[in-house]
Amino acid sequence: MLQIISLLMENKAGALMRVTGLLTARGYNIDSLTVARTLDPGLSRMTIAVDIEPHGRRQLIKQMNKLINVLQATDLTEGPAVTREMVLMRVRAAQEARTAILKEAEIFGARVVDSTIEGFALEATGDIEKLDEFINIMQSYGEIEVTRSGAVAVSLEAKKLRLSPPIPRGETVMAEEKNGVV
Amino acid sequence: MSQLMSGAKILLECLGREGVEVIFGYPGGVTLPFYDALYDHPIRHVLVRHEQNAAFAAQGYARSTGRVGVCCATSGPGATNLVTGLVDAMMDSIPIVALTGQVSTKLIGTDAFQEADTFGITRSATKHNYLVKNIKDLPAVIHEAFYIAASGRPGPVLIDVTKDVFMGNAHYEPVNSIHLPGYKVYTEGHTGQIRRAAQMMLEAERPLVYAGGGIVLGNAHDELKELVELIDAPTVCTLMGLGGLSCDHPNFISMPGMHGSYAANMAMSGADLLIALGVRFDDRVTGRLAAFAPHAKIVHVDIDPAEISKNRNADLPIVGDLKRVLPKLSANVKEIQSETGNPERPGLKQWWKQVRDWKEEHPLKPVYSTSEIKPQHLMAEIDRISNGKAIVTTDVGQHQMWAAQLIRYNAPRLWINSGGLGSMGFGLPSAIGAQFANPDQLVFSIVGDGGFQMSLPELATLMNYGLPVKIIVMNNGYLGMVRQWQELFYNNRLCSVTLDSFPDPALLAGAYGFKGRTVEQPSELAEALQEAIQYNGPYLLNVKVTPTENVYPMVPAGGAINEMVLGPVQPAPVA
């Protein structure tokens, strides 16, 4: 089963590269990665799904928290969290299978977003494993084409976000630092 | 009362505010506007002969002073040449700021002349990096860069500035505050943990202080001395920590690790408490991790939370600045001592006897010969002249290990070497930075004949700026450390390790306008070194040493550190 790392970071050029760089430098493969801005447009939320053993993951998250652009990196594997993914799928359906496909879609709570003579386009959300099942079943009806969004997750615990206050850079402060006062 | 200024001038203004006095650099196309502004600015520029050496020189400056070193290169090849120096600074946590020029914003991504993705290339080579495409961002970026480089666990920061930013004009307003919400620096340490650590130090029977580069970087040498004396623990300093506790201090044992002393490694293996201060449990120190310090509980103090339990699990972690945490530890120790009446610790007494025995059994001592100069003899002579006070920079390899083993460093920031990355060609350029920062100090650059030839162009820089660095080439005609491994682990099949055609040092130094000479006889060595240090200016002393001498003790790769090879394997006696 995959583990989920959630990051709150500054919405700046290069921030994404710094995070993924930590993974690639250690030879870890990213299963999925999503990133979008938060309520504060200056910040982004990133969700990464990976498969890394616990010691390596702890180390990695510490390194992520060291990145200047990262405000907080959390391992959602260990605490309560909700993870969802979306899949968009095109199913080629023979005339006689159309009803069965719609029934199946209903069971998984999927919606039809387009319907043509050849088949349907479906949209489904759910946890990763549920979508795997849905995709499996749909494959049994014939040729399908799938685009997955990658996991997005939210922690169910309120985690205290500690941000560093502004750092004064006036002449006196800087001179004192040079003299080892601060 | 803001002033309309060019980006180049704004950059210099901000560097001035940061107290920068010297930049080690090399100009080029896109940095022309910057160099034009530098023309009538009081900040000095030292023209090195290769950008890699600009980064090493900035490191020498930073390592010997604790201040941020600054280097500068142009776009493309200038920037890519800096990379080794940046990674080197990253590995040893050295605060430097690198300025690079970038092609104009509108040309980025067009494969323009001398364009390289400096921002991308140096991402993993720096603690943080910036690409400045808007002149308005420039002042804050510069102050952020210096703050990030010097604070917390120090490291290199690179600022890539486009040519249009250098040339553009903006109203300059000094920045009085910077905002880095995600940058966390932990300094104080957890009060409860500190109390428990103090307790452990007094309860341990076989405590050992394992002090690393963090002591030097954090200027915590006085604080270390106080603690060591309070708890009276034997102390080992790692390669990066040498000088953190004076080598003449009675509690100092020596360096542990692959080429550490017998006593240091045995003490590591026998301790019941390891007080790890500003160290990262590097593989060159621990040997086989599973067998490292098997009886010891670990107290680990480090400013970087990511170092805690990275390689060895910490029984008691403290995240904080050693400069702040060590006095608190000492205060707690004193408190407990006064509460308990500081009883005799028979276990500790026994432990000291054991450690002293180990020291006597196999001391680190020079080897002499009457027919050839032993490399250890050379180091012993330099030690005698230095008497713990000279700055010594080295390259990487055998000479580095002997210089670490046999020369005393009685203060921090005297011993300057590339520890983590192990970059050859580091010794001479770092000596340039160190000598520049410490003009009145005796600076030895001890290099091998291999690494020296990687930094040859900087002989011109020495002469150019009148830097009286004493270059001591420990010349064994080989890439000695690689040869040693080929001898010991590859059946002595020596492949590409012979360094023939070493230039005549008198001619070489003479070509640059200073003095050089070769010495081969043990009887001449002391006098030759005297001549070198008395010479007014740089000096190149080529010391021909025993070609096939090996560094011992040695822990073979993958071995436990108490399984040392103490010397050359002797042939079995004939019955």
User: Could you report the per-residue pLDDT of B488-512, keeping only the tens digit for each?
Assistant: 999 999 999 999 999 999 999 999 9
Q: What is the pLDDT of residue B542?
A: 98
Asked if residue A45 has pLDDT above 60, the reply is yes
Given phi > 0 = left and psi -120 to 50 = alpha, else beta, which region is B346? alpha
Measured from the Cβ of residue A38, the count of other Cβ atoms closer than 10 Å reads 12
A171/B182 Cβ within 8 A:
no
| Of B200, B201, B474, B481, catalytic | B481
B396 and B314 housed in the same domain: no
Model pLDDT for residues A5-40, shown as the tens digit of each residue: 999 999 999 999 999 999 999 999 999 999 999 999
**Residue B455: which of B441, B466, B469 has the closest Cα?**
B469
Inside any domain, residue B98: yes
Residue B173 designated active-site = no
Query: For residue B227, what is the DSSP state?
Result: H
The residue in chain B having the minimum alpha-carbon distance to the alpha carbon of residue A69 is B182
Percent of chain B with pLDDT over 70: 99
Compute φ and ψ for B394, nearest 5 degrees.
Answer: -135, 170
CB contact under 8 Å between B176 and A17, yes or no, is: no
With CA atoms as reference, report the closest residue to B210 among B327, B292, B154: B292
Last residue of a domain, one of B338, B361, B384: B361
Q: Which residue in the list B18, B51, B115, B144 is annotated as catalytic?
A: B51
**Closest by Cβ to B148, choosing from A25, A68, A166:** A68
Distance from CA of A31 to the nearest CA of B (A): 22
Domain that holds residue B325: 191-361
Q: Does domain A82-152 have CATH number 3.30.70.1150?
A: yes
Q: Using 50, 70 and 90 to split pLDDT, how confident is the model at B1? A: low
Mean pLDDT of chain A: 92
> What's the whole-number average pLDDT of chain B?
96
The CATH code of the domain that includes B116 is 3.40.50.970
Nearest-CA distance A160 → chain B (Å)? 13
Q: Is A169 in Cβ contact with B176 (below 8 Å)?
A: yes
Higher pLDDT, B160 or A93: B160
Q: What is the per-residue pLDDT for A159?
A: 81
Mean pLDDT confidence for B429-455: 98
pLDDT at residue A174 is higher than 80: no
Which H or E element spans position B202?
Answer: helix B191-203
Asked if B295 and B382 sit in the same domain, the reply is no
Task: Examine the domain organization and report whether B275 and B421 are in the same domain.
Answer: no
Shortest distance between the Cα of B306 and any Cα of chain A, in A, equals 5
> What span, in angstroms and rounded, lies between the C-alpha atoms of B280 and B302?
9
pLDDT of residue A93: 86
pLDDT digits (tens, 9 = 90+) for B251-265: 999 999 999 999 999
Average pLDDT for residues A74-101, to the nearest whole number?
A: 93
- Answer yes or no: do B302 and B353 share one domain: yes
Task: Give per-residue pLDDT as tens, B299-329.
Answer: 999 999 999 999 999 999 999 999 999 999 9
Does the residue B184 lie in any domain? Answer: no
Tell me if B179 is assigned to some domain: no
Q: Are B165 and B63 contained in the same domain?
A: yes
Pair B356, B384 in one domain: no
Q: What is the pLDDT of residue B573?
A: 62
Rg value, chain A, Cα: 22
| Same domain (yes/no): B264, B326 | yes
In a domain, B567, yes or no: no
Kindly tell me if the per-residue pLDDT of B574 is higher than 90.
no
Give the N- to C-terminal CA distance of chain B in Å, as an integer: 93
> Does pLDDT of B575 surpass 70?
no
Between CA B465 and CA B460 the distance in angstroms is: 9
CA distances, B426 to each of A119, B436, B444 (Å):
67, 16, 13
Q: What is the pLDDT of residues B68-111, one digit of tens each?
A: 999 999 999 999 999 999 999 999 999 999 999 999 999 999 99
Phi, psi dihedral angles at B393 (to 5 degrees):
-110, 150
CB pairs under 8 A between A and B: 74
| Cis peptide upstream of residue B363 (ω within 30 degrees of 0) | no
DSSP state of B251: T
For residue B93, give both structure tokens.
Answer: 């946590």
Give the three-state DSSP class for B464: helix
pLDDT of residue B140: 97
Kindly compute the dihedral angle of the four CA atoms of residues B274, B276, B279, B282, in this order, to the nearest 10 degrees.
10
Instruction: Give A26 to chain B, closest Cα distance, Å.
Output: 12
Please judge whether A63 and B219 are an interchain contact, meaning their C-beta atoms are less than 8 angstroms apart.
Answer: no
Contact A169 B147 (CB under 8 A): yes
Q: Is the pLDDT of residue A182 over 50?
A: no
Number of structural domains found in chain B? 3
Q: What percent of chain A has pLDDT over 90?
A: 83
**Which of B439, B512, B411, B511 minimizes the C-alpha distance to B61?**
B439
* Strand order across the beta sheet in which B297-302 lies: B252-254, B235-237, B207-211, B273-277, B297-302, B316-319
- Whether B557 maps to a domain, the answer reads no
Which chain A residues are closer than 8 Å to B182 by Cβ?
Answer: 9-10, 67-72, 163-164
Q: Where in chain A are all domains bearing CATH 3.30.70.260?
A: 3-78
* Distance, CA of B253 to CA of B409 (rounded, Å): 13
pLDDT in tens, B190-241: 999 999 999 999 999 999 999 999 999 999 999 999 999 999 999 999 999 9
The residue from B9, B127, B163, B374 that is catalytic is B163
B366-388 residues labelled b (16+ CB within 10 A) or e (exposed): beeeeebbbbbbbbbbbbebbee
CATH 3.30.565.10, applies to A3-78: no
Q: Residue A162: what pLDDT?
A: 86
Domain boundary pick from B144, B172, B200: B172
- Number of helices and strands (H, E) in chain A? 5, 10
pLDDT band at A181 (very low <50, low <70, confident <90, very high): very low
User: Span B142-147, mean pLDDT?
Assistant: 98
Active site residue B353: no
Q: Does A62 touch chain B (CB under 8 A)?
A: yes
Verify that B201 and B318 share a domain, yes or no: yes
| B257 shares its domain with B217 | yes
Both tokens assigned to A116: 């043509």
Q: What integer pLDDT is reported at residue B106 of this predicted model?
A: 97
Q: Could you tell me the CATH number of the domain that includes residue B208? A: 3.40.50.1220
B274 and B398 assigned to the same domain = no
Residues B68 and B45 in one domain: yes
> What is residue B239's three-state secondary structure?
coil
State the DSSP string of A57-113: HHHHHHHHHHSTTEEEEEETTTS-EEEEEEEEEEEE--GGGHHHHHHHHHHTT-EEE
Q: Is residue B116 part of a domain?
A: yes
Mean pLDDT over B60-74 rounds to: 98
CB contact under 8 A, A59 and B304: no
Same domain, yes or no, for B379 and B505? yes
Residue count of chain A, please give it.
182
Average pLDDT for residues B424-431, to the nearest whole number?
98
The mean-pLDDT minimum among A88-102, B335-349, B473-487, B561-575 falls in B561-575
Is B564 inside any structural domain? Answer: no
Of A9, A63, A167, the CB nearest to B180: A167
- Which of these is catalytic: B113, B349, B360, B521? B113
Instruction: Give which of B184, B222, B302, B303 to mutate to test A binding, by max A Cβ within 10 Å.
Output: B184
Catalytic status, residue B114 = yes
Q: Where in chain A is the domain with CATH 3.30.70.1150?
A: 82-152
